[in-house]
Chain A
Amino acid sequence: MALDQSFTGGSEDFPGLLRRQGLLATAPTVMDAARSGGSWGQTEATTILAFKFAGGVLVAGDRRATAGNTVVYDRADKVLEIDRHSIMAIAGVPATAWEMARVLEHSFQYFRRTQLQEMSVDGKVRALSKLLRDNFGFVMQGVGMVVPIFATYDQGVKPSARLYFYDAMGAQFEAADYCATGSGSPAVRGILYYANKWSGTPLHKLNENEAVAIALRALDTAAESDTATGGVDRNGRIFPIIKIVSKDGISTMPDDKISGIFQSSVA
């Protein structure tokens, strides 16, 4: 560890620090893979969803990672805790997405440590947007596309759960009720739209168990038609990752609880 004495006065963000030290990947201007559009089979992770319910925001993701027709991994974790109140869920290329999550996690902590205050929710949402924007050079060349969801709890003047989804270029969209990305998302959006509008109880009024049941149903439906979505593996007892963000922080739904709700409401 060498001490860098080019003091920046803390005006620099964490990606800036990584860039100064040559630790952040930049897209090459020409890449042979560009023509083939990544047909060499890059690993991709699919289908994540999030919605607001009575107890905060629920974020869920199936466990499958694929490369073309091949299932690469059936225990992938696409729902990542970034700090005590923020979750980033990923659809797209895990290699890029996990790196982004690491940068983001360190960015928030670096900001708090150097500036001696917590980064605002708007700042955090924007930080992810900038990472996606920086990654767009890769996306244009057919590799490393990531389409994340960001869920957090704003403890500011008006405490509330906040939910955002992004496109691959970094545009951020705030979701009022729910959002889903990844290859299984059309089916998931159908289920969530139906549940929100016609089921009698809109999503934001659901209790925790009801919310988990809807999330499992949505992922099960997605897996029904989309081979890249893992859904629930009943034999292997591999369940989706479900996390909840509330004002008290993040809680992870234990497998046995998911299993119980799955048996009673989905299977």
Chain B
Amino acid sequence: MIEEPYRWVEAIANRREYIETQLASGSPIAAVGYADGILFVTLGRARQKVFEIYDRIAMGAIGHPGDIERLRMAAIELASTEGFTRSAADVSLRRLAHYSLSPVLKAAFEQVYGAPYLARLLFAEVGPRPEEDLFLRVEYDGAIATNGSSVPEIHQNFAALSATRESTELMESFLKGVHQSNGSLEEALNNGVDAWSVGHMTLHEESSRQLPEAAAIARHRQEQLATAGIEAAILERTAKTPIRYRSLSDDQVRSAVQR
């Protein structure tokens, strides 16, 4: 098959289609920066989707649990070894994603006889100031999208991850409209859950290229909150300990989003 370039391109296209189908049902995740840190939030019923990677780095993931686990473990191993042999300050999300995860994902994706990773990942690294927060999405083919942190004019202090590209884009365009990077945790939670609702609503409807109406978002959010658990975690900007990751239980956040 791969002796002929055309067949290889075809195989890659088929593989992309296969992966997209496999990933199509994951629950979205929103990462929202606020004055005192970064919030990860998602709604779900079963498995954990937001994880601690290192002192200032968290990860959210959609995909096959086995593949997520391999990538999560690899990221933790790398960060821990780097933090141990050098220092915690030398562990950087940019290097982790660009130099370590991306090449491996790309290689696995393009080796058409091997299994690709069925996973999309969303990382965030909290900085000393909101402008220095880094958000980074890594796709199953190794493609990386960032919040443009090196260019202040286009810096966005949020990111989204959903099962389809359209849904992810709609979540981000929703956040672009409502988000303020110096807001409170409560505002971040509400925007995050709204963005989740946008992502979740636009997953299944075929023709959804438009942002849903505010009333429809509120209704959807209400319905989903009644039956699903809230999973939230924060990376705190300033804390006494070097470890900035803290997961928040459903009880701790539910009152803030129940309105």
Q: Tell me whether B225 is interfacial, beta carbon within 8 Å.
A: no
Specify which of A3, A8, A116 lies most central, judged by the most chain B CB atoms within 10 Å of its CB.
Answer: A3
Is A1 in contact with B96, judged by CB distance below 8 angstroms?
yes
Say yes or no: B76 contacts A1, CB within 8 Å: no
Interface residues on B, range: 20 to 34
The answer on a CB contact under 8 Å between A7 and B80 is: no
Instruction: Using CB atoms, name the residue of chain B closest to A17.
Output: B77
- Cβ contact within 8 Å between A1 and B82: yes
B84 sits at the interface (CB 8 A) = yes
Binary per-residue interface labels of chain A (91-118) against chain B in the complex, 1 for a CB within 8 Å, 0 otherwise: 0000000000011001001101110100
Smallest CB gap from A2: residue in B? B100
| Inter-chain contacts of A8 with B (CB < 8 A) | 73
A102 to B87 CA separation, bound complex (whole angstroms):
10
Q: Which residues of B contact A17 (CB under 8 A)?
A: 77, 80-81
Specify the main secondary structure of chain A where it touches its partner.
loop
A59 to B83, CA, bound (A): 27
Q: Are A113 and B95 also in contact (CB < 8 A) when A3-B78, A7-B73 are? A: no
Interface of B is mostly: helix
Shortest Cβ distance from A96 into chain B, in angstroms? 16
Q: Which residues of A contact B48 (CB under 8 A)?
A: 116
B254 in the interface, Cβ–Cβ < 8 Å?
Answer: no
Within 8 A of B (CB), among A7-36: 7-10, 14, 17-18, 21, 23
Query: Which residues from chain B contact A116 at a C-beta distance below 8 Å?
Result: 48, 51
Q: Is the CB of B70 closer than 8 A to any CB of chain A? A: yes
Would A5 and B100 count as touching, CB distance under 8 A? no
Number of A interface residues in the complex (CB < 8 A): 24
Q: Is B104 an interface residue (CB 8 A)?
A: yes
Decide: B84 and A113 in contact? CB cutoff 8 A.
no
* A2: B residues at CB distance < 8 A: 100
Cβ contact within 8 Å between A1 and B99: yes
Query: Could you say which residues of chain B place their CB within 8 Å of the CB of A3?
Result: 74, 78, 100-101, 103-104
Given A18-B81, A21-B81, A113-B52, A5 and B74 contact (CB-CB distance below 8 Å): yes
Q: Which residue of A lies closest to B80 (CB)?
A: A110
Q: Which of A7, A103, A112 has the most chain B CB within a 10 Å cutoff? A: A7
Say whether A122 faces chain B, with CB atoms less than 8 Å apart: no
With A1-B99, A113-B52, A114-B76 in contact, is A106–B70 under 8 Å at CB?
Answer: no
CA distance A39 to B43 in the complex (A): 63
The answer to whether residues A106 and B84 also contact, given A10-B73, A114-B76 and a CB cut-off of 8 A, is: yes
A256 at the interface (CB under 8 A from B): no
Cβ–Cβ < 8 Å partners of A18 in chain B: 81, 84
Question: Would you give the 0/1 interface string for B62-92, flagging 1 where the beta carbon is closer than 8 Å to chain A?
Answer: 0000000110011011101111110000000
- Interfacial chain A residues near B73, Cβ < 8 Å: 7-10, 114
- Complex: chain A residue closest to B241, CB-CB: A84
With A1-B99, A23-B81 as contacts: A110 and B76 at CB distance below 8 Å: yes
Interface positions, chain B 77-136, Cβ under 8 Å from A, are 77-78, 80-85, 95-96, 99-101, 103-104
Instruction: Report the bound CA distance from A103 to B80 in whole Å.
Output: 10
Q: Is there an interface contact between A1 and B78, defined as CB atoms closer than 8 Å?
A: yes
> Could you say which residues of chain A place their CB within 8 Å of the CB of B69?
10
Q: Across the interface, do B100 and A102 meet the contact criterion of CB distance under 8 Å?
A: no
CA A5 to CA B111, docked complex, whole Å: 15
Shortest CB distance A37–B (Å) = 31
Q: Are B99 and A4 in contact (CB under 8 A)?
A: no
Taking a contact as CB atoms closer than 8 A, the residue among A9, A21, A102, A112 that contacts B52 in the complex is: A112
B243 interface hit (Cβ, 8 Å): yes
* A-side contacts of B241, CB under 8 Å: 84
**Contact residue among B74, B84, B96 (Cβ-Cβ distance under 8 Å from A103):** B84
B53 at the interface (CB under 8 A from A): yes
Q: Are B100 and A106 in contact (CB under 8 A)?
A: no
Q: How far is the CA of A10 from the CA of B100 in the complex (A)?
A: 19
Q: Pick 29 A–B contacts, CB within 8 A, sort by A.
A: A1-B100, A2-B100, A3-B74, A3-B78, A3-B100, A3-B101, A3-B103, A3-B104, A4-B77, A4-B78, A7-B73, A9-B73, A10-B73, A14-B84, A17-B81, A18-B81, A23-B81, A23-B85, A84-B241, A102-B84, A103-B84, A106-B80, A106-B84, A109-B80, A113-B51, A113-B52, A113-B76, A114-B73, A116-B48
Closest CB pairs A-B (n = 10): A3-B100, A3-B104, A1-B100, A106-B84, A113-B76, A110-B80, A1-B78, A113-B52, A7-B70, A3-B74
Q: Which residues of B contact A (CB under 8 A)?
A: 48, 51-54, 69-70, 73-74, 76-78, 80-85, 95-96, 99-101, 103-104, 241, 243
